[in-house]
Structure 1
Amino acid sequence: MLISTTENIGKNYEVLGEVFGVTTQSRNIGSNISASLKNLVGGEIKGYTQMLHNSREESIGRMKKEAENKGADAIVMMRFDSGSIGSDMQSVVAYGTAVKFNQ
């Protein structure tokens, strides 16, 4: 399935509606300890980076599944949104517009 951040994908299509996928991940104790140490010396917190990467992939997969259930051929205008829940959880949402190609 084509997933694009743009509206114009070079094909005519019918809009089926909004689709989204959401996931919430918690940081593990090892990442929390590493983050505390990195606060002192600086640098990338690889455990958090990996968690956010995995969250984005999971949210895209869920959005894609919802679009497939609507009979979509593509998703246009895809975006991400994210936010913290408490001090140790991160929520990531992928959303866009499901479309069906005109024949």
Structure 2
Amino acid sequence: MVPFTERVVQIISGIPAGHVMTYGQVARAAGNPRGARQVVRVLHSMSAKHNLPWHRIINAQGGISTPSDRADKGNKQRDLLEAEGIVFSSSGKIDLNCYRWFPEEEYI
């Protein structure tokens, strides 16, 4: 595993229940500010293998990003987040000021 991927896995693994990070935020913390799409790739290919809390990664607007043909996955993500106490607005967004998690300095 390349160092960036290792850091992404480590960062996502460390997000506590009831908190979220954005794709771009994870990428920046892992050392590649332009690596949000790589974070998506890591989530897609390694979530099951590393038991990652994939549902805690959202977009920069505080929303869930799923393709239109995968609405079931978006619903599952929302259900998992709500089960952790995260509240969505009527427009389907999460208040990042309230729920965003910032990793320890060791990642940055």
TM-score (normalised: structure 2): 0.23
Higher fraction of strand:
1
Larger radius of gyration, structure 1 or 2?
A: 1
